[in-house]
């Protein structure tokens, strides 16, 4: 095996590449980018599910799509006597911004010393060298703290920021560590020379894979009905606090502030049928369109009335914290993969990643399935209310009557109400202009603190008077104002957030002037246009970069139900959906790579058929 290690190192030096290792009851392969260690039984030819899981995991970490870019000049042929370059940066779908918080607090059991701090610095070097650091890539900030900040982290999570924690103490429990983040890693022997924090390449690679594999929508805009059916039979009373903590991660803990069980103290049976009937009636009376997820949290030794007939049309999940239960929970779900079971109620709060791929953390697996199911629905029709963007509206008042203006304001209130307004969701700004007059009426992005505030600011708009009754609209000047005064950090613009500009044009003629500065808006914003007078003009279209420019007959007929407005909402939603969920590619068609498989002969001839079938 030692010779194989040295041969592997020589091969990487010669041709570069990405190495994945599938090992069977053996040690870590030095130099492997990704490794799965399995038991012999997992390669049993009769267990196709297990083999497929292993193959998918290897593919997931090895086959990463890298768009082919045209070369500007022919590559120079390598010198035959020298090794080829070793790839440093791998293709990723997103380069996230990272904020690293280092706990420097000290105690007698686990003191923070200069040596230990240096080990953390080395680990950060191992981790961050994997990223493409820069203004167009990953931006990093680092802070240290010696005080507790768990509540602040929870507040950050509820604003849509994803968090990861790393525990560096054998004295911290998995549940305590899980309070710091949505996903956690435990490194109790972090001072070890072999598996310590400064030599743990596997941990760095997992975090790198997790944060760069795909772009996620903001978790603060989870647009769905999330219903928990909680078992409160008497036998589960002692587990109440664990259940509350599990459910409270979904921001619905106010409904579990008291114990509502009416069963006798000795009852170990829960009538889930009554709960199913109640929820079914509630859902049938609720016409809301978002996806519905129903989660059973059960711990009784026996359930009665279990059936998925009434709720079979919804996404169903079971989270069971009593492994000794003899009940068949498949009656509650539509798919066996939607059943998750942990040993004790305290494990409901455990969000520490299992470093063994064959035994994943069940709570993290449940959260992942919930997210994936929601993503599948969002990919079809991404809800407008889930968009998190900065939207600047340019309202042309040229030629509008007082009646027209009142109707336009009513429309804008209806239009903005389709979005969720706030500092972590969508922010609106509005600039008005009339002829060649560009008054500083309207409002800035930072003022968009809620839907009610935006509605109020729109209501306060006044119809401006054009200079000398000019009727040629200065659209370019209005866009320049947007660039100089609205798209600035000082006025609330989030330059790392999707930006949309919507031109509501009413003029029949335009003030011709230099447009070079105004055209720069297309570099930082996706620009749409909606005519309010039944006409379209090449001059207005010239400022758009999305291809969207439609019109309504007149300003008095403008409404949220107008076909052109519906087209605008659909186009905007599709644009944002494609940003969050970019087009996926068939791995077989797009991956152009050479694969080298190294098979250990020590497995013996009895494993040869299984290995052949695994490759197939």
Q: How does pLDDT run across 39-69, given as a tens digit for each residue?
A: 666 666 555 556 666 776 666 655 544 444 4
Q: Which of 81-90, 164-173, 421-430 has the lowest mean pLDDT?
A: 81-90
DSSP code of residue 64: -
Average pLDDT over residues 197-222: 77
Residues 6+ apart with CB under 8 A from 186: 166, 167, 174, 177, 352
Residue 453: what pLDDT?
Answer: 95
Confidence grade of residue 216 (pLDDT, cut at 50, 70, 90): low
Residue with the larger pLDDT of the pair 296 and 32: 296
Residues 6+ apart with CB under 8 A from 397: 405, 432, 433, 434, 463, 464, 506
Contacts 24+ apart (CB under 8 A), 92-96: 92/64, 92/132, 92/212, 92/213, 93/212, 93/213, 93/214, 93/215, 93/582, 94/212, 94/214, 94/215, 95/131, 95/132, 95/136, 95/137, 95/138, 95/212, 96/138, 96/211, 96/212
- Residue 252 tokens read as 């619905």
Helix axes 402-416, 451-459, angle to 10 degrees: 170
At 123, give phi and psi (nearest 5°).
Answer: -60, -45
Confidence grade of residue 464 (pLDDT, cut at 50, 70, 90): confident
| Cα–Cα separations (whole angstroms), residue 220 to 139, 224, 343 | 22, 11, 30
| Cα–Cα separations (whole angstroms), residue 162 to 217, 228, 374 | 10, 23, 17
Contacts 24+ apart (CB under 8 A), 340-347: 340/365, 340/366, 345/236, 345/239, 345/242, 345/243, 345/299, 345/321, 346/175, 346/242, 347/321
| Closest-CA residue to 505 (of 554, 463, 470) | 554
CB atoms within 10 A of CB 444: 20
Site of tokens 């808006």: 521
Residue 429: what pLDDT?
Answer: 95
Q: List 21's β-bridge partners, or say none.
A: 35
Confidence grade of residue 555 (pLDDT, cut at 50, 70, 90): very high
Residue 567 and residue 585 in contact, taking contact as beta carbons nearer than 8 Å? no
DSSP H or E segment with residue 463: none
Residue 432 and residue 399 in contact, taking contact as beta carbons nearer than 8 Å? no
Residue 551: what pLDDT?
Answer: 96
Residue 85: what pLDDT?
Answer: 40
Strand order of the sheet with strand 339-341?
A: 225-230, 292-298, 315-320, 339-341
Residue 387 and residue 573 in contact, taking contact as beta carbons nearer than 8 Å? yes
At 116, give phi and psi (nearest 5°).
Answer: -65, -40
- Residue 598 tokens read as 């190294």
Residue with the larger pLDDT of the pair 129 and 252: 129
- Give me the helices (H) in 389-460, please: 402-416, 451-459
Q: Which of 2-11, 157-166, 278-287, 576-585 has the lowest mean pLDDT?
A: 2-11
Q: Which of 71-75, 221-225, 575-579 has the lowest mean pLDDT?
A: 71-75
Average pLDDT over residues 462-489: 85
From CA 376, how far away is CA 80, in angstroms rounded? 49
* Mean pLDDT, all residues of the chain: 79
Residue 378: what pLDDT?
Answer: 80
Q: How does pLDDT run across 308-348, given as a tens digit for each residue?
A: 788 888 889 988 887 555 566 778 888 888 888 888 888 88
- Determine the straight-line distance between the first and last CA of the chain, rounded to whole angstroms: 26
Q: How does pLDDT run across 142-155, given as a tens digit for each residue?
A: 888 776 666 777 77
Residues 6+ apart with CB under 8 A from 386: 217, 218, 221, 222, 223, 378, 420
SS3 category, 81: coil
Residue with the larger pLDDT of the pair 336 and 540: 540
Q: How does pLDDT run across 367-410, given as a tens digit for each residue?
A: 888 888 888 888 777 788 888 899 999 999 998 999 999 999 99
Confidence grade of residue 463 (pLDDT, cut at 50, 70, 90): confident
Single pTM value for the model: 0.65
Q: How does pLDDT run across 222-242, given as a tens digit for each residue?
A: 778 888 888 877 667 778 888
**615 burial level (CB within 10 Å; 0-12, 13-18, 19+):** exposed
Q: How does pLDDT run across 240-290, given as a tens digit for each residue?
A: 888 888 887 765 444 444 445 444 445 567 778 888 888 888 887 655 567
Residue 466 has pLDDT above 80, yes or no: no
Residue 229 and residue 276 in contact, taking contact as beta carbons nearer than 8 Å? yes
Residue 505 has pLDDT above 90, yes or no: yes
Residue 80 has pLDDT above 70, yes or no: no
Residue 114: what pLDDT?
Answer: 80
Residues 6+ apart with CB under 8 A from 499: 389, 390, 391, 392, 487, 493, 524, 525, 526
Residue with the larger pLDDT of the pair 250 and 605: 605
Residue 285: what pLDDT?
Answer: 61
CB atoms within 10 A of CB 361: 22
């Amino acid at each position: 095996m030692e010779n194989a290690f040295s041969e592997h190192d020589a091969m990487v030096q010669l041709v570069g590449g990405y190495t994945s290792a599938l090992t069977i009851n053996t040690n870590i392969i030095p130099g492997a980018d990704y490794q799965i260690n399995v038991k012999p039984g997992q390669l049993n030819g009769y267990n196709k599910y297990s083999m497929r899981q292993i193959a998918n995991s290897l593919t997931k970490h090895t086959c990463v799509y890298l768009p082919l870019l045209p070369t500007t000049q022919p590559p120079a042929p390598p010198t035959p006597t020298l090794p080829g370059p070793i790839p440093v940066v791998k293709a990723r779908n997103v380069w996230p911004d990272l904020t690293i918080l280092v706990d420097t607090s000290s105690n007698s059991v686990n003191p923070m010393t200069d040596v230990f701090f240096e080990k953390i610095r080395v680990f950060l070097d191992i981790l961050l060298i994997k990223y493409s650091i820069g203004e167009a890539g990953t931006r990093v900030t680092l802070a240290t703290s010696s005080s507790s900040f768990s509540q602040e982290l929870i507040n950050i999570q509820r604003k849509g920021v994803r968090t990861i924690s790393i525990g560096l103490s054998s004295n911290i429990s998995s549940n305590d560590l899980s309070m710091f983040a949505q996903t956690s890693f435990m490194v109790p022997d972090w001072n070890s020379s072999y598996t310590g924090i400064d030599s743990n390449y596997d941990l760095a690679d997992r975090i790198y894979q997790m944060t760069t594999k795909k772009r996620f929508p903001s978790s603060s805009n989870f647009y769905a009905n999330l219903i928990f059916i909680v078992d409160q039979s008497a036998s589960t009373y002692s587990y109440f606090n664990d259940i509350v903590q599990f459910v409270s991660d979904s921001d619905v803990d106010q409904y579990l502030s008291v114990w509502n069980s009416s069963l006798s103290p000795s009852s170990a049976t829960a009538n889930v049928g009554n709960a199913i009937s109640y929820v079914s009636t509630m859902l049938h009376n609720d016409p809301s369109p978002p996806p519905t997820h129903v989660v059973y949290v059960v711990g009784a030794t026996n359930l009665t009335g279990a059936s998925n007939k009434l709720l079979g049309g919804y996404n169903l999940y079971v989270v069971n914290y009593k492994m000794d239960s003899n009940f068949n929970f498949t009656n509650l779900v539509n798919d066996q993969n939607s059943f998750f079971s942990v040993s004790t109620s305290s494990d409901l709060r455990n969000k520490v990643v299992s470093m063994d791929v064959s035994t994943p953390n069940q709570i993290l697996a449940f959260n992942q399935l919930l997210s994936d199911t929601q993503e599948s629905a969002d990919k079809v029709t991404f809800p407008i209310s889930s968009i998190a963007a900065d939207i600047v509206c340019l309202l042309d008042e040229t030629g509008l009557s007082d009646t027209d203006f009142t109707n336009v304001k009513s429309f804008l209130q209806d239009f903005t109400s389709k979005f969720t307004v706030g500092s972590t969701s969508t922010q609106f700004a509005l600039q008005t202009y009339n002829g060649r007059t560009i008054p500083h009426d309207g409002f800035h992005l930072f003022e968009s603190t809620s839907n009610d505030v935006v509605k109020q600011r729109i209501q306060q708009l006044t119809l401006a008077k054009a200079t000398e009754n000019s009727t040629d609209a200065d659209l370019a000047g209005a866009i320049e104002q947007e660039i100089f005064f609205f798209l600035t950090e000082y006025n609330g613009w989030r330059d790392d957030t999707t930006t949309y500009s919507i031109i509501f044009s009413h003029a029949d003629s335009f003030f011709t002037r230099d447009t070079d500065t105004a055209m720069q808006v297309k570099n930082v914003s996706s620009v749409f246009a909606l005519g309010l007078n039944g006409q379209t003009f090449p001059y207005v279209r010239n400022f758009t970069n999305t291809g969207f420019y439609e019109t309504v007959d007149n300003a008095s007929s403008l409404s949220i139900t107008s076909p052109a407005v519906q087209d605008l909402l659909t186009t905007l939603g599709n644009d944002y959906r494609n940003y969050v969920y970019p087009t996926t590619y068939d791995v077989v068609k797009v991956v152009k790579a050479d694969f080298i498989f190294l098979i250990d002969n020590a497995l013996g001839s009895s494993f040869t058929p299984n290995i052949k079938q695994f490759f197939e």
